[in-house]
Amino acid sequence: MQEEQQKEQVRVDNVLAKIKDSIQKQEAEVQKAEAERSLVEKNYVQNARINTLEVDDQMETNAEVQQQKQLVAKNLENETILKNQLEVLKLLKDSPYFGRIDIQDPGDDVEQLYIGTASYVDENQDFLIYDWRAPISSIYYNGTLGSVAYETPGGQFTTELLKKRQFNIQEGQIVNMFDTNETIGDEILQAVLGQQSDEYMHNIVATIQKEQNDIIRDTYMTCS
């Protein structure tokens, strides 16, 4: 397992390098958006000085003011979106993901999907991290090894779950990881099981934790 962890750490390092690069680019986009919004706001203030001497001038100025007002709102919305995206990237840079599933659709190659708190797509539009709320991510929570079904907006799909792996990643380093047939959310249990090889012990604790996890997710769905 030590060799496997080293391979996984290489992937973590590569993903974090891409995320940090994305953060730098996103920060530049935010600064650009802030400058554009500031310029539009200045133009808005200038155009808001309505000329009341001539009716035609007043109507024309009012139209310009409304146009500038809409432009300010649009720029502010764009800036907010960029800042939110930046915050997500910053959250991912210390602990990019917590799970991995290996699946195989009939006639296709094996796919390795990594599950995290948010999706991350690289410059080639490849998903390096899948959001835990994505339909296919439900396999990680509810599926056991073997044939599994998951719901999507386009209907139900079936695939073969070959591996389920859990990680505890802190500050970009894998603290522990292990393969299981269930999902274990408790960090203390993760740490203990990451050092154990007793499959029987894995299954007992994992089954208990899965029941607890089902309750938590049911409560979350009811409240949201």
Q: What is the pLDDT of residues 170-180, one digit of tens each?
A: 999 999 898 98
The mean pLDDT of the chain is 79
User: Do 144 and 182 belong together in one domain?
Assistant: yes
Judge whether 6 lies within some domain. Answer: no
Judge whether 3 lies within some domain. Answer: no
Burial zone of 197 (CB within 10 Å; 0-12 exposed, 13-18 middle, 19+ buried): exposed
Q: Among 56, 72, 92, where does a domain finish?
A: 92
Between the ranges 57-61, 108-112, 191-195, 217-221, where is the mean pLDDT highest?
A: 108-112
User: Do 77 and 103 belong together in one domain?
Assistant: no
Residue 141's pLDDT band (boundaries 50, 70, 90)? confident
Whole-model pTM: value is 0.73
User: Do 144 and 159 belong together in one domain?
Assistant: yes
C-alpha pair distances (Å), 113 with each of 101, 103, 120, 121, 169: 5, 8, 12, 12, 16
Q: How far, in Å, CA of 96 to CA of 114, rounded? A: 9
Residue 207: per-residue pLDDT? 43
User: Do 50 and 72 belong together in one domain?
Assistant: yes
Judge whether 73 lies within some domain. Answer: yes
Residue 49's pLDDT band (boundaries 50, 70, 90)? low
Residue 204: per-residue pLDDT? 46
Residue 122 reports pLDDT greater than 70:
yes
Residue 187: per-residue pLDDT? 55
Structural domain for 85, as ranges: 16-92
Residue 133: per-residue pLDDT? 85
C-alpha pair distances (Å), 171 with each of 97, 123, 145: 12, 24, 30
User: Do 82 and 106 belong together in one domain?
Assistant: no
Domain count, the chain: 2
Judge whether 9 lies within some domain. Answer: no
User: Do 203 and 132 belong together in one domain?
Assistant: yes
Residue 145 reports pLDDT greater than 80:
yes
Residue 66 reports pLDDT greater than 50:
yes
Distinct helix (H) and strand (E) counts, the chain: 5, 7
